[in-house]
Amino acid sequence: MIVVKDLIKHYDNGLVRALNGVSFTVQKGEIVALVGPSGCGKTTLLSLIGALDVPTGGEIIVEGKNIREHRPASDFRARTVGFVFQLHNLIPSLTLLENVELPMYSLPFSSRERRARAVEIISEIGLAERMDFLPTRVSGGERQRTAIARALINDPKVVLADEPTGNVDTETGGRILDILTNLCRTMGITMLIATHDREVAKRADRRIRIRNGVIEEI
């Protein structure tokens, strides 16, 4: 599903070496945890796989195709990748339901299809009674669950989750992770989850440990 070959990412003309020859493979439907200390390159790696940035060197192949060949990159992201970040990044002036609908506007869905799909998935995560609330009127856990629904709304092949439970308490984080992993397994979605939390990493099928921009252990 995902093949990363000799991936390199440098910043500031090579002064900052975020990734230095990273290689690994992720199978379809697999959940893989990227673990390591802050600044080790986890977030950079997710950004490159999600086509939010371009590598300095190496290759990223998703479903047999180099992501450099996907043009425009925004279309690749809309159709293939769902993102879940530590901060939910919801638009405060939109309801939870409207926030979930947003990614569908980049694809050829009618307004009726958008609404029906958003209602369906927001109900699946247990927020049917909150869908018309603004983000400021719900809890942090409910905002993050909304972000999960938004990430899954376009039936992505891959979910990239960057510290998705890092901004909530342990109990809430556990519930959020249950929802995220169960939905990914049910839908057959491949997920890469960056975390420094051992309990989060234990939920994955495999763990890839990164330190100073290189893979230390798989």
The per-residue pLDDT for 215 is 93
Structural domains of the chain, with CATH: 2-217 (3.40.50.300)
Strand pairing class (158-162; 81-84): parallel
**Per-block average pLDDT, block size 10, for the chain (218 residues)?**
95 87 95 90 94 94 88 86 88 96 91 94 93 95 93 94 84 87 92 90 93 90
Q: Which two tokens stand for residue 78?
A: 């809309």
The per-residue pLDDT for 112 is 94
| pLDDT, tens digit, 9 for 90 and up, residues 113-146 | 999 999 999 999 999 999 999 999 999 999 999 9
Cα distance between residue 13 and residue 106, in whole Å: 34
Q: What angle is formed at CA 100 by the lines to CA 74 and CA 135, rounded to 5 degrees?
A: 120
Write the DSSP string, 102-138. Answer: GGGGGTT--HHHHHHHHHHHHHHTT-GGGTTS-GGGS
Phi, psi of 113 (to 5 degrees): -65, -40
